[in-house]
């Protein structure tokens, strides 16, 4: 009888340890909340003119954490013709969690993006859902003939 109780107790402890320890390993790619099949969404978009610049403010929410956002792009078009694409890239590659946090412009010859005025913000503390999910990005580019504001 004691052997049966001891065996049951050992099996119970192993089961308990596995059920507690194994879920701790599932980081979901360093994510914060872990919601399956919920794509990122724009929570806030604002475009404004300030002096000689156009500023595009974006707040992106990803319920799997802002850490899952690889890049964000804004495309400038003139009657359907792509003139420039501005990109904020958070990681070196899709397979990497090495943060580079870079702004770039394609084609580079346009020289419209003012990288020094661009901004990204991610909360250091991740206690609330908003802190784990939201990333703020600001693209700043020069006004030109095709913005309609020059």
pLDDT digits (tens, 9 = 90+) for 19-69: 444 343 334 444 455 667 777 888 889 999 999 999 999 998 887 777 778
pTM of the entire predicted model: 0.69
List the beta bridge partners of residue 56. 47, 139
pLDDT at 68: 78
pLDDT at 17: 44
Tell me if residue 43 falls in helix, strand or coil: strand
The answer to whether 61 and 44 are in contact (CB under 8 A) is no
pLDDT digits (tens, 9 = 90+) for 38-48: 778 888 899 99
Confidence of residue 5 (pLDDT cuts 50, 70, 90): low
Least confident of 51-60, 111-120, 123-132, 138-147: 123-132
Question: Tokens at residue 114, please?
Answer: 């003012």
Higher pLDDT, 146 or 111: 111
Report whether pLDDT(10) > 60.
no
C-alpha 36/C-alpha 68 separation (Å) is 12
Sign of the CA dihedral running 139, 144, 149, 150: positive
pLDDT digits (tens, 9 = 90+) for 70-102: 899 999 888 888 989 999 999 988 888 888 999
What one-character-per-residue DSSP string does 16-31 give? HHHHHHHHHH--TTT-
Residues 6+ apart with CB under 8 A from 129: 33, 63
Query: From the CB of residue 84, how many other CB atoms can be counted at a distance below 10 Å?
Result: 21
Question: Tokens at residue 19, please?
Answer: 């059920």
pLDDT at 89: 94
pLDDT at 143: 86
C-alpha 69/C-alpha 100 separation (Å) is 13
CA angle 139, 73, 80 (to 5 degrees): 105
C-alpha 116/C-alpha 58 separation (Å) is 17
* Strands lying side by side in the sheet with 53-61: 41-50, 53-61, 134-142, 119-121
pLDDT at 74: 93
pLDDT at 145: 66
pLDDT at 72: 92
């Amino acid at each position: 009888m004691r052997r049966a109780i001891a065996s049951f107790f050992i099996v119970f402890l192993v089961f308990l340890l596995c059920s507690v320890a194994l879920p701790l390993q599932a980081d979901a790619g360093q994510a914060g909340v872990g919601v399956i099949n919920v794509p990122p969404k724009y929570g806030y978009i604002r475009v404004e003119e300030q002096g000689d610049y156009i500023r595009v403010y974006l707040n992106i929410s990803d319920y799997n954490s802002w850490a899952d956002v690889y890049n964000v792009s804004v495309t400038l078009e003139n009657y359907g013709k792509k003139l420039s694409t501005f990109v904020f890239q958070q990681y070196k590659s899709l397979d990497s969690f090495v943060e580079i946090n870079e702004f770039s412009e394609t084609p580079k010859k346009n020289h419209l993006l003012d990288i020094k005025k661009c901004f990204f913000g991610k909360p250091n503390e991740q206690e609330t859902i908003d802190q784990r999910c939201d990333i703020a990005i600001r693209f700043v580019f020069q006004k030109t003939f095709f913005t309609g504001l020059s």
